[in-house]
Amino acid sequence: MFPKSVWRLIKTPPAPGAWNMALDESILQFVAAGKSLPVLRLYAWEPACLSLGYAQPIKDVDFQNLVENGWELVRRPTGGRAILHTDELTYAVIAPQNEPRVAGSILESYRRLSTALVEALHLLDLPATADKEYPIPEGSQPNAAVCFEVPSNYEITVQGKKLIGSAQARRYKGVLQHGSLPLYGDLTRITQALRFENETERRQAAQRLLDHATTVEMILGKVLDWDTAAHAFKTAFEQVLNIEFLETEPDVEELSCAEELLIQKYAHPSWTERI
């Protein structure tokens, strides 16, 4: 058990993707500099937004379909593959690198945080597990553009299907790990936002996704609302990681920094289309 630690809990209303990424990085800067307590941030996206991993090529995006669906595009500061953020709860853990819950290697921190994520799902009656090693599922493509198609070490699965996809960045002597819990809706929508050689490949990708990923609704047979899921995350982090939360809003300085990051980085083509 970790010694008791006081963190901030920040729950923000649904926001555009570029703003969500800007606020995550802004808070990371302040936390890493010792100007803020560690943070668990819980949020959502509006409108729906396709996020690319830090090193994912922009050529993966089907811009025509993206525009026709009214979806936005952002590049994350973290690695991994594309996610279509909609109908989900997103979490962000933001802490200094020497915080015991995230200290050590990326894999070590993933393992520790995964214990809280799994407990959150158990509180929601979801029989989740976080396994260390995942073989590449038969028929999947290791270089596939879709994040949820293939689970990674210590990512969260239910009945062998990926449920929470997470990614991590380490900058400014701080750690940002964020991830998505799909609550309901059609997982295969993301294939409409990505480029394929032909419609047959698109359909095959959609089927692979259904074979290897799931949503809360698909498991429970009912729609779980965002607030219920958020409460389970808060409770699990309190219990498993021995955290006392102070529920706060982002402060004025964090919001000002996020505005700068929004304009100069996350809403700018020089970042989004850089590779």
Phi/psi of residue 215, each to 5°? -125, 165
Kind and range of the H or E element at 256?
A: helix 252-261
Q: From the candidates 147, 158, 209, 240, which is the catalytic residue?
A: 147
Q: Which residues pair with 113 in a beta bridge?
A: none
* Tokens of residue 39, six digits: 């943070």
Q: For residue 22, what are the contacts with CB-CB under 8 A and spacing of at least 6?
A: 258, 259, 261, 262, 265, 266, 267
170 with 221: CB under 8 angstroms? no
Q: For residue 153, what are the contacts with CB-CB under 8 A and spacing of at least 6?
A: 107, 110, 131, 132, 133, 134
Among the listed residues 3, 34, 26, the one whose alpha carbon sits nearest the alpha carbon of residue 101 = 3
* Tokens of residue 89, six digits: 């709860």
Question: Is 147 in the active site?
Answer: yes
Rg of the Cα atoms in the chain: 18
DSSP 44-97: -BSS-EEEE-TT--GGGB-HHHHHHHT-EEEE-SS-S-BEEE-SEEEEEEEEET
Residues known to be catalytic: 147
